[in-house]
Structure 1
Amino acid sequence: MKAAIAVLLALCAAATTGLVPIKRQGETEAPKVILDNDWGPTDFILVLMALASPYQILGLTSNTANSWALQCSLHALRSLQLGGLENCIPVHKGTDYPLLNTADLQQSWEYIHGALPWSGAFAPMNMTAEAAGSDPTDGNPNRIVPSSFVDGKAPDLNQLNGTMAAAFMVDMVREYPGEVSIYAAGSFTNIALAIRLDPTFAQNAKELVFMGGYIDTNLLMVTGSANEADINSDINIKIDPEAAKIVLTADWQNITLVGNAANSVFLNQTDLEEIYNVNNSFSQAMMQYFQAYFPLWDATALAVMLEPETVVTNSTDFFVDVDVAWYSPYYGNVRASQQMYAPKGQTLRSVRYPFAVDVERVKELVRDAVMQPGSCEDN
């Protein structure tokens, strides 16, 4: 009897120190995800979609792409505050600048090779657009535009987690090797830094799912409207091509690029009215800020991660490289190869590339997530 009690006490002591994890019979670990994004006013859609899934959100991290990482961090925090989620999901600010690219370099490249439809954070300052709710663009990563936040108030900077995004990613993958999916929408800068901080980072993550990597869209960019040119560019890679090169050649177990297929997914007026009729804090924010003339890029990429067998209706695999020659007109473009023609002088990775997705299922996931938002208990 004494021996049994001693064993029981030892197990309890070990459990409190984290040495012996206790798991109920039949209980399984939830898959885990880090959501890395250049967060905007309505990107809470991603958080709500993940909460409605079996995934556990370990944290949100911000990067510089559409706007600066600081502004995007505050959007992520405000998204959580809309649903009382700020105490159970941390927000980690990413690095301000790409690895090499700067606003001056971007403008010089555009002067030589032609303007990009959208230059993201490096676009010239537009005070008129900011007054109407747009995020800051120019050369200052520390400038905050309150008008782009729901209710016109930027969250308190002190509510951001002090651990930088790349370090947080490394810590989580070390704590849960083989279990953490990295979802990326925006630049690859944080993830490239994580790979450089820990050479085992990519191989110990479960997978990488990325919104970007457009293939053969040049004709669409020159034969359609200005908006058509915009949605077929690739700012998530082009704002930091060097980081993209590091990330897409790292030794991940699985890589999925959701590029062209995401351009087919839009919310129509019927979808929006269905969401607005629910009248919760998220639907109100969508009514104020959602830009229905853009595809559901980020939500489509996340849907591919959450339900790959359901959402992806046609896909293929090939090897990818990123053009990092600054003098090239294709600087920041993905270069695709089948295996027999892949470059022999470098190690490239095979990626999964969806050609087509179930548009109605993606929209259903978005509608359900916003209309029935999850809580901390769902995480």
Structure 2
Amino acid sequence: MKRLGRRLTMGLVLLLAAAGASAADSGQQLVVIDQDGSGPGGSNIRSTMALIQAPQVKVLGITMVTGNAWMAAETQHTLRMLELIGRRDIGVYEGAVHPLVRSRKRTLAEQRFDGQVAWLGAWGGDGSEPEQYPADPNAKQKMPEGRPTLAPRDQDAAHYLIDTVHAHPGQVTIYAAGPLTNLALAQRIDPSFAETAKQLVVMGGSIAPVTDNAEFTTSPSHEFNLWFDPEAAHIVFNADWKKITVTPVDISLQSWYSDEMQHTIASSDSPAAQYLAQYDTERYFMWDEIAALAWLHPDLVSKTRTLYLDADMSHGPSYGDTLAWTEQAKPAAHTGPAATVQMTLERKAFDQAFIDLMQAPTPGAQQPAIADAD
């Protein structure tokens, strides 16, 4: 973490509170996005854009964590996206570069005994494009969309999260779509962090997906975000949240970002649509977008389960797998609340809701740079 001990001044906390009060008065929901924003485009960036595009939402800030890519590269992609769609006012805060305990070196070594991991994120992707996943977390990577002129804010992610929920007690939703390291650090620094937030929305975990996808048929409890930092997931799921909503693999596999969807979105001249039209080449499951849109529109989910969640910390072959219990089965040591776990997606309605958001004008946009990005 960078400058872990630095805190906002009281004046800035009051400014945050005033901005949040204004948004609350207008009926907007306050959210901080915690994301492993690899890009350009892709599920991480698209979900961030979906929340920015939603007129009923005020994005207070974006905190970055290593996951699908190294945190430094993710930060650059996220800053550039904000420039291109005209939302330079949203602050981006650098967070954890490494998990709390799991290490790249040990993880790669253990694959010789425990089998190959399908997705290693920043530590090697799926192994097919090693040049995209350097061992150096600060390596400068290619940016097809151009490098940003914006810089991240000075405060580290964990302290920004803490200060923001305390500036708006009971009002801030934490939307977490990457490994949970930043949130775990915030909770360890300030044990009142979770209970001061309004709720937690998580993309993560895997219960019992019905699929022929090779990544999950033999390892149905494996999911990258929890696997990458199991200790962080344990801390977060055992904290005193008022409410937890989880988008697991089970429902994520019911979606797909297709060429057809991209083509439909690209017919709009909105900055968000044109960003995707020019730079988004990922065609895959819409993991993070479901978590974002189902928070905005709960009726997009037709079936849920109530479960207590955790991550396996046994440091064997199942290290990082999702643990899930019903009320009757949960261990006494589990101290967190039950989560609402989404299981079934209303696919057509979801697709249309996402398309509509991307085609719409960006609220609060000022001088989008997308027109000059050619």
Q: TM-score, normalised by structure 2?
A: 0.84
Q: For residues 300-325 of structure 1, give each alpha carbon's deviation from its aligned partner in whole angstroms, at most 9, with x where no partner exists.
A: 010111112x2121112011221011
Maintained 8 Å contact 1:44/1:80? no
Instruction: Kindly state the Cα deviation for residue 290 of structure 1 after the two structures are TM-superposed.
Output: 2.9
Instruction: Kindly state the Cα deviation for residue 34 of structure 1 after the two structures are TM-superposed.
Output: 0.5
Matches within 5 A, 1:156-175: 156=149, 159-175=151-167
Q: 2:119 is matched with which residue? A: 118
Aligned length: 345
Q: Which amino acid aligns with 1:324?
A: M
- C-alpha distance in 1 between matches for 2:343 and 2:28: 29
- C-alpha distance in 2 between matches for 1:334 and 1:165: 25
Instruction: Kindly state the Cα deviation for residue 214 of structure 1 after the two structures are TM-superposed.
Output: 0.7
Q: TM-score, normalised by structure 1?
A: 0.83
Q: For residues 66-114 of structure 1, give each alpha carbon's deviation from its aligned partner in whole angstroms, at most 9, with x where no partner exists.
A: 001111111111110111111x211111111111111101112322211
Gaps of 5+ in 1: 1-16, 131-135
Matches within 5 A, 1:200-219: 200-217=192-209
- C-alpha distance in 2 between matches for 1:346 and 1:227: 26
Maintained 8 Å contact 2:206/2:220? no
- C-alpha distance in 1 between matches for 2:228 and 2:194: 21
Q: 1:99 is matched with which residue? A: 100
User: Secondary structure at 1:140's aligned position in 2?
Assistant: coil
Instruction: Kindly state the Cα deviation for residue 61 of structure 1 after the two structures are TM-superposed.
Output: 1.1
User: Which consecutive segments of 4 or more residues in structure 1 shift more than 6 A?
Assistant: 20-24, 124-127, 226-232
1:374 and 2:367 are equivalent in the alignment? no
Q: 2:109 is matched with which residue? A: 108
Maintained 8 Å contact 1:84/1:375? no
Instruction: Kindly state the Cα deviation for residue 257 of structure 1 after the two structures are TM-superposed.
Output: 1.1
Q: 2:173 is matched with which residue? A: 181
- Counting aligned pairs with the same residue, the percent is 27
Q: Which segment drifts farther, 159-168 or 120-129?
A: 120-129
User: Secondary structure at 1:146's aligned position in 2?
Assistant: coil
User: Secondary structure at 2:253's aligned position in 1?
Assistant: helix
Q: For residues 268-289 of structure 1, give each alpha carbon's deviation from its aligned partner in whole angstroms, at most 9, with x where no partner exists.
A: 3332221122245433442344
User: What is the RMSD of the two structures over their aligned residues, measured on CA atoms?
Assistant: 2.9
- C-alpha distance in 2 between matches for 1:125 and 1:358: 30
Kindly tell me: are residues 306 and 92 of structure 1, through their superposed partners in 2, closer, same or farther at Cα, counting changes over 3 Å?
same
Q: Which amino acid aligns with 1:33?
A: V
Query: For 1:298, which of 288, 296, 315 is the aligned residue?
Result: 288
Gaps of 5+ in 2: 1-13, 367-374
Q: Which structure is larger by alpha-carbon Rg, 1 or 2?
A: 1
Higher relative contact order (CA 8 A, sep 6+): 2
Maintained 8 Å contact 2:85/2:365? no
- C-alpha distance in 1 between matches for 2:304 and 2:193: 26
Q: Which amino acid aligns with 1:154?
A: R
Q: For residues 124-164 of structure 1, give each alpha carbon's deviation from its aligned partner in whole angstroms, at most 9, with x where no partner exists.
A: 7979565xxxxx424311112124x41xx3224x6111111
Q: 2:40 is matched with which residue? A: 41
- C-alpha distance in 2 between matches for 1:239 and 1:307: 29
Kindly tell me: are residues 303 and 96 of structure 1, through their superposed partners in 2, closer, same or farther at Cα, counting changes over 3 Å?
same
Q: 1:334 is matched with which residue? A: 322
Q: For residues 333-355 of structure 1, give each alpha carbon's deviation from its aligned partner in whole angstroms, at most 9, with x where no partner exists.
A: 11111111111234243110111
Maintained 8 Å contact 1:276/1:284? yes
Kindly tell me: are residues 126 and 31 of structure 1, through their superposed partners in 2, closer, same or farther at Cα, counting changes over 3 Å?
same
Instruction: Kindly state the Cα deviation for residue 373 of structure 1 after the two structures are TM-superposed.
Output: 3.3
Per residue, is there more helix in 1 or in 2? 1
Q: 2:7 is matched with which residue? A: none
Maintained 8 Å contact 2:104/2:123? yes
